[in-house]
Amino acid sequence: MSSLQELDDKQVMEHKPKEINIRELFLVLKRYMWIILLITAVSTSAGTYYSLSSYSPLFQSTARIIINADSSLMSTLKVIIQDTTVLDKVVKKLNLPYSPEVLSGKIMVANIGDSQVVTITITDADSKQAAILANSVAETYKEEIPSIMGFNDVKLLSQAKEVPFPINEDKNKPIIFGFVGGIVVSIGIAFLLDSLNNSVRKEHEIEELLGLPVLGTVPKMKKTNMKEKKTSFKI
């Protein structure tokens, strides 16, 4: 019975090469399943480890001020917010452990549309600190700007509040990358190994290669094919 089945297989193979190719690909994947699983597991856990060890959440907090000036003056006034003259005072006031230049790097200044409202956004690893810095920068700016520019019309619009949600949520990126990369690489390795494996696999291969008949095939012994076939007894 099995030899008939094999004959069928052979005929199918000769007539429909494309479908069989896909089946072959799946067989290769199944054969090297353990390698694929192993490499994917390793790369995924490496990605997880990397993201857990390197991830630090960043928080933003925004203070709003109103600068009552026309657009040409506005840009000058905006630049001064990030200037060391103002920030030097903030560093001294809050007794910060870093230089005004570092603080300048944490600040983002922007207009809201064409309005006179200017936002001072601080990005920091500490959510509370971000709010304190934003408020302090806004206040110091308001205090200092008359002596720098002789300009008086700056008002505090709204205080910066602590925002407890980190802005960089994409910590899953390395994990996904590790997972997808692991699958791709391991499938590549599986096909490489398969192409390097020069062993006999099929009945007709053996018959062509050796000129000997195949007396029979024994499948891999599994629980399913070693047990009694109970269904065959039912009538």
Partner 1 sequence: MVLSLLNKEKAIKEMTRRQFVSHTYPNSEIAERFRTIRTNIQFSTSNKKHQMLMITSPSNGEGKTTTAVNLAISISQQGNKVLLIDADLRRPKLQQTFNLRESEGLTDVLMEGILLEKVIFNTQIGQLDVLSSGTIPPNPAEIIGSNAMTRFLREVREEYDTVIIDCPPVLETTETKLLAGQCDGVVLTVNSGKTDQEKAVEANRLLKLVRANVLGVILNERE
Rounded Cα gap, residues 138 and 120, in angstroms:
7
Number of chain positions touching partner 1 (CB under 8 A): 35
Binding flag, residue 235, partner 1 (CB under 8 A): no
Out of 56, 226, 234, 235, the residue judged to bind partner 1 by CB under 8 A: 226
d(CA 202, CA 184): 28
Among 168, 184, 169, residue whose Cα is nearest residue 44: 184
Within 10 angstroms of residue 197's Cβ, the number of other Cβ atoms is 11
Residues within window 2-21 making contact with partner 1, judged by CB under 8 A:
2-3
Residue 90: name the closest of 139, 38, 123 by CA.
Answer: 139
Helix axes 84-94, 127-149, angle to 10 degrees: 130
- Shortest reach from residue 231's CB to partner 1, in Å: 10
Question: Closest separation between CB of residue 233 and partner 1, Å?
Answer: 8
- If the CB atoms of residues 115 and 199 are measured against partner 1, the closer one turns out to be 199
**Region of 76-84, 88-96, 167-175, 214-222 interacting with partner 1 (CB under 8 A):** 214-222
Q: How many residues does the chain have?
A: 235
Q: Which among 18-26, 43-51, 118-126, 217-225 is the span making contact with partner 1, rule CB under 8 A?
A: 217-225
216 is a site residue for partner 1 (CB under 8 A): yes
Rounded Cα–Cα distance for residues 86 and 76 (Å): 14
Looking at residues 31 to 60 of the shown chain, list those that interact with partner 1 (rule: CB under 8 A).
31
Q: Site for partner 1 (CB under 8 A): which residue of 95, 212, 234, 235?
A: 212
CB 33 within 8 A of CB 189: no
Quote the tokens at residue 51: 């993201």
What letter does residue 82 receive in the DSSP assignment? T
The count of other CB atoms within 10 Å of the CB of residue 18 is 7
What Cα–Cα distance (Å) separates residue 165 from each residue in 66, 98, 161, 222? 26, 24, 12, 53
Q: Is residue 196 part of the contact set for partner 1 (CB under 8 A)?
A: no
Q: Which stretch binds partner 1 (CB under 8 A): 85-93, 114-122, 162-170, 213-221?
A: 213-221
- Based on CB atoms, which residue is closest to partner 1, 142 or 202? 202
Among the listed ranges 14-22, 81-89, 148-156, 223-231, the one in contact with partner 1 (CB under 8 A) is 223-231
Distance between CA atoms of residues 55 and 123, nearest Å: 15
Q: Which of 30, 92, 128, 155 binds partner 1 (CB under 8 A)?
A: 30
Which residues here bind partner 1, judged by CB under 8 A? 1-3, 27, 30-31, 197-203, 205-206, 209-221, 224-229, 232
